[in-house]
C-alpha cells in the first residue's frame, strides 16, 4: 500500500499528496479537527523547512491605476476610479519606508490592453511609477494591476528589477467568475500568468474563497497554479456571503484547510493572506502552514469619511492619500503565537526554488 494512502487512512500525517483526488480527500477529511491536526502539522513542518521562521510584513499602495470596469466585481465596494500622481506615490513610499517597510506592492484597478495600442493597458502608467520609485527609495517593488499588462510591459518591468507581477485569478470556475466579476475576463488573467511564465517574471496570484466555488474548484485551482514554476506568492482570502450574486461566503476553517493543502502541494511557496483579508484569520493561517508574508499597511486615495476600526491606525499622506497601518495589531496577533513579525525583507531559510520542491512531489 502506498505511503500516502496509508497516511490518509491514519489521519493524513504525511506531507506528500499524490493527485487531485487525494488532495480533495485530505481537504475534506480535515473538516474533522482531529484529522486537521495532522494535516496542519505536516504543513507547518514544510514551512519551517523552506521559509523563514517568522512572518514578514509588506505594504500595498493601491493607488497605481484606475479601474475602468463598468461593472465592478461583487466583492469590491470601492473600485479605484482615479490613481495617484507620481508625487503621491513617492510620498506614500517615503511614509512606508519611514515605518520600516522594504517591500512595496504597487496595485490598482484594471484596463485591458487593446489590440494595436503602442503601450497597452496600464503599461505606461506603472512603468512611470516604478521609475519614480526606483529613483526615490531602496525597496523591493511588486506591480499588481491584474490583466492590464502586455508582454512588452512585463519585459520592461523585469528590466527595471521589479520583483514580481501580481494577477489574481480569484476563482477558476468560469460561471462563478462571470457571476462575481461580470466586467472582468478570466482568459486575460490567465494570459498574463502565461506571459510571466514565458518571460521568466516571478508572479503572485490570489484565490478567493466563498464566491460559490466547489471544493473541487478550490483543489483544481491549486493544481492549475502548480504548473507555473514562476509562481512565487499565493494569496488566499475568504469572503462574506453576497446573496445578490449567490455567493455563499466562506468561514475561517475551510480557508485554513486549503492553506495546509496548498503548503503540501507547493512547499516553498510564500502563501500569504491577501491585503483585504481579516486580521482574525492570522492565527489559523499560520497554524495551517501559511506564511510567511502578510500585508501590514495599505495606502489608498482618501475618501470623504475615513474611520479607524480599532486595529488600524490612519495616517494622512498629504491631502489626497490615507495610509492604513495595521502592523501593530498584526504584530500583537503574532506575538500571541510567540512570533516576532518583522517589517521588511525577511530571508528565505532554504535556497531551493519552488520548481525544485515541486519536482519532489508527485504530479497531479
List contacts with ligand SF4 (CB under 6 A).
67, 69, 72-73, 76, 79-80, 109-110, 146, 184
Task: Give 292's contacts (C-beta < 8 A, 6+ positions apart).
Answer: 47, 51, 52, 54, 55, 56, 270, 272, 346
Check whether the bond before 10 is cis (ω within 30° of 0). Answer: no
By the 8 A CB rule, do 205 and 177 touch?
no
Cβ neighbour number for residue 130 with a 10 Å cutoff: 20
User: What is the H or E stretch that residue 209 is in?
Assistant: strand 203-209
Query: CB of 361: closest distance to ligand SF4 in angstroms?
Result: 32
In whole angstroms, how close is the CB of 83 to ligand SF4 at the nearest point? 11
CB of 238 to ligand SF4, least distance (A): 15
Q: Which is nearer to ligand SF4, 59 or 357 (CB)?
A: 59
Q: Taking the CB of residue 280, how many other CB atoms lie within 10 A of it?
A: 11
Non-local CB neighbours of 349 within 8 Å, separated by 6+ positions: 48, 49, 50, 51, 52, 53
Q: How far is the CB of 115 from ligand SF4 (least distance, A)?
A: 20
Nearer CB in complex with ligand SF4: 110/176: 110
Residue whose C-alpha cell is 508582454: 151
Looking at the chain, how many residues does it have? 364
Residue nearest to ligand SF4 (CB): 76
Spatial CB neighbours of 116, under 8 Å, sequence gap ≥ 6: none
The least distance separating ligand SF4 from the CB of residue 67, rounded to whole angstroms, comes to 3
Q: How far is the CB of 173 from ligand SF4 (least distance, A)?
A: 17
| Closer of 150 and 206 to ligand SF4 (Cβ) | 206
Closer to ligand SF4 by Cβ: residue 148 or 331: 148
Q: How far is the CB of 237 from ligand SF4 (least distance, A)?
A: 11
Nearer to ligand SF4, 156 or 206 (CB): 206
Determine how β-strand 231-238 pairs with β-strand 270-273. Answer: parallel
Q: Which is nearer to ligand SF4, 39 or 176 (CB)?
A: 176
Amino acid at each position: 500500500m502506498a505511503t500516502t494512502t496509508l497516511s490518509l487512512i491514519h489521519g493524513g500525517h504525511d506531507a506528500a499528496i499524490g493527485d487531485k483526488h487525494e488532495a480533495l480527500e485530505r481537504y475534506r477529511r480535515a473538516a474533522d479537527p482531529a484529522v486537521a491536526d495532522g494535516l496542519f502539522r505536516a504543513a507547518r513542518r514544510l514551512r519551517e523547512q523552506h521559509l523563514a521562521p517568522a512572518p514578514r510584513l509588506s505594504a500595498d499602495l493601491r493607488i497605481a491605476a484606475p479601474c475602468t470596469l463598468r461593472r465592478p466585481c461583487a466583492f469590491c465596494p470601492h473600485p479605484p476610479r482615479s490613481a495617484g500622481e507620481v508625487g503621491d506615490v513617492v510620498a506614500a513610499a517615503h511614509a512606508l519606508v519611514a515605518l520600516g517597510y522594504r517591500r512595496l506592492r504597487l496595485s490598482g484597478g484594471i484596463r485591458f490592453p487593446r489590440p494595436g495600442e503602442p503601450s497597452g493597458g496600464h503599461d505606461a502608467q506603472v512603468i512611470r511609477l516604478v521609475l519614480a520609485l526606483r529613483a526615490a527609495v531602496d525597496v523591493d517593488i511588486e506591480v499588481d494591476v491584474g490583466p492590464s499588462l502586455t508582454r512588452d510591459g512585463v519585459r520592461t518591468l523585469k528590466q527595471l528589477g521589479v520583483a514580481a507581477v501580481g494577477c489574481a485569478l480569484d476563482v477558476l470556475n468560469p460561471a462563478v467568475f462571470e457571476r462575481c466579476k461580470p466586467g472582468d475576463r478570466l482568459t486575460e488573467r490567465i494570459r498574463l500568468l502565461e506571459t510571466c511564465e514565458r518571460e521568466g517574471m516571478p508572479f503572485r496570484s490570489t484565490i478567493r474563497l466563498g464566491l460559490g466555488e466547489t471544493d473541487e474548484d478550490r483543489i483544481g485551482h491549486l493544481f492549475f497554479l502548480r504548473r507555473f514554476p514562476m509562481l512565487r506568492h499565493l494569496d488566499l482570502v475568504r469572503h462574506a456571503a453576497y446573496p445578490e450574486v449567490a455567493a455563499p461566503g466562506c468561514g475561517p476553517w475551510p480557508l485554513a484547510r486549503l492553506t495546509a493543502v496548498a503548503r503540501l502541494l507547493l512547499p516553498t511557496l510564500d502563501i500569504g493572506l491577501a491585503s483585504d483579508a481579516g486580521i482574525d484569520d492570522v492565527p489559523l493561517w499560520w497554524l495551517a502552514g501559511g506564511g510567511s508574508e502578510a500585508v501590514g499597511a495599505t495606502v489608498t486615495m482618501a475618501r470623504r469619511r475615513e474611520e479607524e476600526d480599532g486595529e488600524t491606525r490612519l495616517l494622512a499622506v498629504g491631502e489626497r492619500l490615507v495610509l492604513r497601518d495595521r502592523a501593530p495589531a498584526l504584530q500583537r496577533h503574532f506575538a500571541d503565537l510567540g512570533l516576532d513579525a518583522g517589517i521588511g525583507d525577511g530571508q528565505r531559510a532554504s535556497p531551493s526554488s519552488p520548481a525544485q520542491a515541486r519536482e519532489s512531489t508527485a504530479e497531479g
